[in-house]
């Protein structure tokens, strides 16, 4: 498994504003979107492209275009939805699949309640959007499902990660027949007794959409 912690002043600036408890939901949504676009730029270094011949106003030349089959972006509901626009700005022709996962706040175990993904993901590059890599339970369950459907190149984009979550991912995906990458804006200190990332930013879903 590969982990990329993006070291960039704009990423750090936007993340700091996102963390502030006084940041309103409206501003939080905007910042999350901008931050994801920056992370997506780094996360798509390995995007598959194919050669194409084009005509400029001056001459014929060679370029590239996104290869087929197109990549698929999978936001994990609910909080991953807040990352979708930022990702699609960069890859407007990607497909989007949805995965609904909920974490039991006592056992911290993740269960799937919605699955709108293709049954066959062979040859598809998959970008999973989940803002908080905390225990790793949700992301491990989500990526396991993607690998079961044939995906072999999965990149998870997370606003924040905890060392415990990354260790869990390493344990699950090291030595597997797949390239799994985590791209994040910061690696925080730890999880607290409730499974929240410290210092973190609180509950990402609540901060994006309010407490339900
Ligand atoms: N999920 C969140 O939204 N925040 C955390 O800190 C951990 C999990």
What mean pLDDT is predicted for residues 6-17? 98
Closest by Cα among 86, 125, 87, 81 to 99: 81
C-beta of 136 in contact with ligand 1 (< 6 A): no
Residue pLDDT, tens place only, 78-94? 999 999 999 999 999 99
Closest by Cα among 153, 124, 119, 142 to 66: 124
Choose which CATH entry (3.40.50.2020, 3.90.400.10, 1.10.10.10, 3.90.660.10) describes domain 2-209: 3.40.50.2020
| For ligand 1, mutation pick of 204, 208, 209 (most atoms within 8 Å of CB) | 204
C-beta of 162 in contact with ligand 1 (< 6 A): no
- Spatial CB neighbours of 205, under 8 Å, sequence gap ≥ 6: 78, 79, 82
C-beta of 197 in contact with ligand 1 (< 6 A): yes
Return mean pLDDT, the chain: 96
Peptide bond into 199 cis (omega under 30): yes
23 close to 50: Cβ distance less than 8 angstroms: no
Of 52-66, 103-117, 145-159, the poorest mean pLDDT is in 103-117
C-beta of 139 in contact with ligand 1 (< 6 A): no
- Pair type for strands 98-103 and 110-116: antiparallel
pLDDT of 104 strictly over 80: no
């Amino acid at each position: 498994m590969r982990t990329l912690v993006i070291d960039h002043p704009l990423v750090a600036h936007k993340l700091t504003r996102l963390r502030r408890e006084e940041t309103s939901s409206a501003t939080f949504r905007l910042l999350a979107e901008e931050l994801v676009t920056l992370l997506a730029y780094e996360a798509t270094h390995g995007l598959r492209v194919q050669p194409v011949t084009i005509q400029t106003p001056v001459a014929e030349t060679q370029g590239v275009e996104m290869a087929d089959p197109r990549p698929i972006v999978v936001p994990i509901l609910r909080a991953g939805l807040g990352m979708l626009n930022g990702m699609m700005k960069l890859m407007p022709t990607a497909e989007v699949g949805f995965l609904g996962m909920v974490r039991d706040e006592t056992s911290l175990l993740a269960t799937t309640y919605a699955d709108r993904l293709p049954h066959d993901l062979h040859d598809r590059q998959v970008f999973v959007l989940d803002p908080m890599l905390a225990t790793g339970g949700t992301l491990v369950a989500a990526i396991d499902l993607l690998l079961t459907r044939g995906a072999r190149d999965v990149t998870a984009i997370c606003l924040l990660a905890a060392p415990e979550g990354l260790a869990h991912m390493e344990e699950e995906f090291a030595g597997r027949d797949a390239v799994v990458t985590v791209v994040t804006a910061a690696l925080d200190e730890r999880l607290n007794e409730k499974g929240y990332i410290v210092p973190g930013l609180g509950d990402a879903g609540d901060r994006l959409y309010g407490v339900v």
